Amino acid sequence: MPGAVASSPTGRAGASGRPANAQAESSEAVELEALVVTHWFDSGEGEEPYSATVRLTGRRGGIHGMPKPQDTFVQEDKIDGIVPGSGLVSITSCVYRRQPGEWTVSAELLRPRGDAGRGRRVTAEPIRPAAWSWRRWALSTGSAGTVKTRWAMLAPLARMPGVIPGVWPALGVLGALVALVTQVAILAHENVAVGQFLVVSLLALGFGLIGAKLWNAVLHPGPWRQWIQGWSVDGFLFVAPVVAVAALLAFDLPIGVFLDAATPGLFFGVAIGRLGCFFTGCCAGRCTSSRWGVWSSDRRVGARRIPAQLIESLAGLLLGATSALLVLGHVPGVDGVIFAAAFGAYVVVRQLLLRVRAERREYSWRRSNVASAERS
């Protein structure tokens, strides 16, 4: 069975005895920055998923004499659920609140060895910096030189294996344009006036995006920075049709005609958008040792994964193409049936794919219930 990889940094610091991400360095008249480093290791052999820790040790260059606490750091990043036999694994670590300059960073992997039943011993082994080849779609050993700090706000945009920062917004806009153009083309082919229908589509699109953002906030409660970067397609697919139907009733337009004409473009947009998710590293599937897995990243841990985004993209493409043929062929002849059938099929596919996602959805009410159960 494929295992899941979920990781979270512990943020320990050895030099100062305080967490690296919380060290108070107000005495320095400089803006603190961030380091972003990526290392790789082999997942090894075995049967059961295991956890490992990557320990980073850094020292700022140009230091003479005894280094001060802010000139060194030790940070440990934990990775859970590493799947043996899945090949090479990369880990991208961000070390915040560092003095600007060039740093020498080394890393070692702490992981268990031996049989689980007899007790495992933890071994430490050095691991190397990682580089990524888009042409070969593979990891390789990168340069072991110094690493320069960067503005902390831009740390998420650093180079990561298998990730193209910013590609999702671009493909999201492209998907929306394809959806609108497809709908207009279908309506024009059916000799239906486009003007008011286009207004309805734009209203549905705008409110659907708001719904996607709000639903993402429900899925990821916490500081606004945590959810402002994400979107949830569930929120869009719930809000957009409701707004569209309300607007159609207000304009006294045929609901079934609009929904069927919008169906092909809607799922073509899903197909394009999910490609953006794959290359951005969001909505990633669980790690697997299966030969059908595809190496990809969740923007922190890169490994062979179930290609959940690509499967959903293919499903969107098939639903869009099939619904287009049915709409243009006037099959089955009852307005709105094509939308209902395609939407229902997509919901089924999506629910199945959510089960193989690396990220487990945690709702605030569920976490509260779990916490109450643990306290009792």
Please choose, from the candidates 318, 307, 290, the residue with its C-alpha nearest in 3D space to the C-alpha of residue 87.
290
Q: Angle, nearest 10°, between helix axes 195-219 and 167-189?
A: 150
Q: Which amino acid is residue 120, in one-letter code?
A: R
pLDDT tens per residue, range 186-241: 999 988 888 999 999 999 999 988 988 888 778 767 665 555 566 778 888 889 99
Other CB atoms within 10 Å distance of the CB of residue 105 = 20
Residue 27 is predicted with a pLDDT of 39
Residue 65 is predicted with a pLDDT of 76
Residue 176, Ramachandran bin (φ over 0: left; ψ between -120 and 50: alpha; else beta): alpha
Q: Are strands 138-141 and 147-148 parallel, antiparallel or unpaired?
A: unpaired
Whether residue 3 contacts residue 83, with contact meaning beta carbons closer than 8 Å, is answered with: yes
Residue 227 is predicted with a pLDDT of 54
Indicate the pTM of the whole model. 0.82
Residue 361 is predicted with a pLDDT of 56
For 286, the token pair is: 């669980």
Residue 299 is predicted with a pLDDT of 92
Q: Which amino acid is residue 32, in one-letter code?
A: L
DSSP per residue over 115-181, as a string?
Answer: -STT--EEEEEEEEEEEEETTTTEEEE---S-EE-B-GGGGGGS-BTTB-TTHHHHHHHHHHHHHHH
Q: Please tell me the distance from the alpha carbon of residue 73 to that of residue 75, in angstroms, as a whole number.
A: 6
Exposed/middle/buried for 107, CB within 10 Å: 0-12, 13-18, 19+? buried
Q: Are strands 33-42 and 88-98 parallel, antiparallel or unpaired?
A: antiparallel
pLDDT tens per residue, range 330-345: 887 789 999 999 999 9
Question: Which sequence spans correspond to the domains of the chain?
Answer: 6-157, 167-368
* Range of weakest confidence among 7-11, 57-61, 140-144, 217-221: 7-11
